[in-house]
Amino acid sequence: MRDSLPPGLGETGANRPLRVAMVSVHTSPLEQPGTGDAGGMNVYVLELSRALARRGAQVEIYTRATTSAQPKVTDAEPGIRVIHVSAGPYEGLDKNDLPGQLCAFAAGVLRAEAHRPEGWYDVLHTHYWLSGQVGWLAAERWDVPLVHTMHTMARVKNASLAPGDAPEPHGRIIGEEQVVAESDVLVANTEQEAADLVRDYRADPGRVRVVQPGVDLDVFSPPPDVDGRDPAERDRRRAAQRAGLRERLALPVDRKIVLFAGRVQLLKGPDVLVRALGERVWEEGDGQPPLLVVLGGASGRPTAVRELEALAYQEGVAAHVLVRPPVPQQVLADYFRAADLVAVPSHSESFGLVAAEAQATGTPVVAAAVGGLRTVVEDGVSGVLVPDHEPESWALVLKSLLDDDALRAGLAVGARASSTRFGWDRAADEILDVYEQARKHHSTRPQPVPR
């Protein structure tokens, strides 16, 4: 853990704490991930803020108010404040409606900061292109370095659309290009994302830094080891341990379980898993597919969950699909531990936080070989990467793993070892270095007109 902040950051006449403004327009870090527009980015913003606060930084997160009941300012945790900005109607707006509210949101951010002494913030860190548009204006107004994390990019998503999914609009691409040009430093989750930024958005390679997100390794941890020198006895105790966990979660004890955790939308690919359950490969052996547990809510279309359940009925596998709402992180970790496999069939992922969290609990992951999942999942070590989204391919891989207890046990060991690569303390240390790099770059820019 870093003992002190980088030279130059957060230093005035007295060595005060680093003050970070974060902007997350379309989704609040306080929302439950797994439904609507809330997902891995919520976890990223909150966990990074926590790690920065542990290092003495003061973090203020600006996000759009979505209900009238939300307080304007919430002291979420020591060192972390969430500011809800009114911009447009509280309800009825999805992500695609928000570009028309960016002016109102930016005005709210500037108004909230205006009562502070000049030079209050040391750095501005924005998340997703909508926030980057707001940050571009605010950073210039406040004369602070702008750091931006894309999380997802329109050109990358459009290159790997799920069948039936709508492409991202050209206006988003233009907005992303502007944010790339104006940011002092761009944070990429993986080397692949960094290459995408340079290739697709003409980003300056010298201003792109790779910082892999972390996993809360205290929450997402393997089940406690069981005693017993005899291997057969240890296996029996482990089975009893898992059975007890499944009983607490109201899951069947005597079935193989494949878990999907995330928003129910075409991009995330839960339909691939439902179709895979309908493949003929399951007729071999005991003649039935595993139970697919879907933890997630509708995203994009309010009928997404009902459509997934209707697809299961059409495929004749409704009895093998169980849909439940998203759950808090501590409960999610128990679901990971209770599953035989976790499946991540996304068509596009900048990182793949679910895969990293599942592996940290010691559960092997079957994932699509796309984006950041190729970094998170070590093929043949912590899980298996599937080269396409064909239901038969997924059925074959899932069945081969579910039929081989020894293979899954070996992957479970690899999953636990692989998870040690990811930690939020390491990520925060690297982000502090990014902030210092951004400060140095910002100092070379033409000075804005004094206000």
Residue positions forming the annotated binding site? 26, 32-33, 37-42, 95, 128, 152, 172, 263, 268, 327, 336-337, 339, 349, 357, 363
Annotated binding site for UDP-N-acetyl-alpha-D-glucosamine: 32-33, 40, 263, 268, 327, 349, 357
Contact 398, 341 (CB under 8 A): yes
Other Cβ atoms closer than 10 A to 191? 14
Annotated binding site for 1D-myo-inositol 3-phosphate: 26, 37-42, 95, 128, 152, 172
Q: Which amino acid does the sequence have at 56? A: G
3-state secondary structure the chain: CCCCCCCCCCCCCCCCCCEEEEECCCCCCCCCCCCCCCCHHHHHHHHHHHHHHHCCCEEEEEEECCCCCCCCEEEEECCEEEEEECCCCCCCCCHHHHHHHHHHHHHHHHHHHHCCCCCCCCEEEEEHHHHHHHHHHHHHHHCCCEEEECCCCHHHHHCCCCCCCCCCCHHHHHHHHHHHHHCCEEEECCHHHHHHHHHHHCCCHHHEEECCCCCCCCCCCCCCCCCCCCHHHHHHHHHHHHHHHHHHCCCCCCCCEEEEECCECHHHCHHHHHHHHCCHHHHCCCCCCCEEEEECCECCCCCHHHHHHHHHHHCCCHHHEEEECCCCHHHHHHHHHHCCEEEECCCCCCCCHHHHHHHHCCCCEEEECCCCHHHHCCECCCEEEECCCCHHHHHHHHHHHHCCHHHHHHHHHHHHHHHCCCCHHHHHHHHHHHHHHHHHHHHCCCCCCCC
Annotated binding site for Mg(2+): 336-337, 339, 363
- Given CA atoms 220, 57, 210, 61 in this order, what sign does their dihedral have? positive
Q: Could you tell me which residues are beta bridge partners of residue 64?
A: 85
Per-residue tokens: 292 = 């697919």
Residue 429's φ and ψ, nearest 5 degrees, are: -60, -45
Per-residue tokens: 342 = 């976790």
Residue 125's φ and ψ, nearest 5 degrees, are: -120, 115
Q: CA-to-CA distance for 15 and 201, rounded, in angstroms?
A: 38
